Amino acid sequence: MKKTFPILGALTAILLGYALYEALVAAPTEQTMGDVQRIFYYHVPSAWTAFTLFLINFVASILYLVRRHPAADIVALVSAEVGVVFCTVVLVTGPIWARPVWGIWWAPGDIRLTSTLVLWLIYVSYLMLRRFSSSGQTPTLAAALAVLGALCVPFVYFSIWFFRTQHPQPVIGGGGSIDPRMLHVLLLNWLAFSCFAFLVCWSRYRLESLQREVDQAHAMESLMDLRGSAR
């Protein structure tokens, strides 16, 4: 276990480096947008990784609501936290791409952009609830909020199918098309980001489990103190 993490970390770093090289150097340059299109190789895989993490959060939250298993609660918390980080990347890289291509940073009222921002806000509120509420019911309330947040994910993804939007059509399963070499680089970056997200979730899971053990030890210690002073 102790050796697996550094090995996987080194392999992921190599994969991320190779995916970066493929995105910046090996991928063909898009004719209309030029090099700025290469932002797509970070923007889209980050969005897919965020959606996957929110899906994991949804499954873990349902499991927690049904079985009340603490491990499911930790998985839900960790996946939401890392998912918010990836969703932040999406919300930052999107406007940086839009400025030279659309001429504006943000298209107000655009359904894809607005729904992604709302999705991010839902999961940020989920994390705030987890962070600042000390009630024993917090994991249950958070799990219920996570279920509602997860309903937003398919809406964000399919919004460009059902509404008029400035956002480009999806390259997979939608109306958009893509050069096979570009698709290869896109999938490679998705794989690299998925491995990276898995490792971050793993280390965060270990940290959270340890934190809960320490909190329990503190609680036990306080109880012992109380019993000691009562005698």
Partner 1 sequence: MRNGYLFAAYAATWIIHIVYLGTIVSRYSRLKREIEDLKKPGVRS
**Interface contacts to partner 1, rule CB under 8 A:** 20, 24, 34-36, 38-39, 42-43, 46, 82, 85, 88-89, 92-93, 96-97, 99-100, 196, 200, 203-204, 207, 210-211, 214, 217-218, 221, 225
Tell me the closest approach of the beta carbon of residue 211 to partner 1, in angstroms: 6
Residue 172, classed as helix, strand or coil, is: coil
Tell me the closest approach of the beta carbon of residue 166 to partner 1, in angstroms: 17
Of 164 and 226, CB closest to partner 1: 226
Alpha helices in the chain (DSSP H): 4-21, 40-67, 70-102, 111-132, 138-162, 180-230
| Cα(77)–Cα(211) distance, integer angstroms | 13
Tell me the closest approach of the beta carbon of residue 151 to partner 1, in angstroms: 26
| Cα(17)–Cα(20) distance, integer angstroms | 5
What are the angstrom distances between the C-alpha of 66 and each of 37, 59, 142, 147, 172?
44, 11, 14, 13, 34
Tell me the closest approach of the beta carbon of residue 20 to partner 1, in angstroms: 8
| Cα(149)–Cα(151) distance, integer angstroms | 5
Of 67 and 99, CB closest to partner 1: 99
Of 66 and 128, CB closest to partner 1: 128
Of 118 and 210, CB closest to partner 1: 210
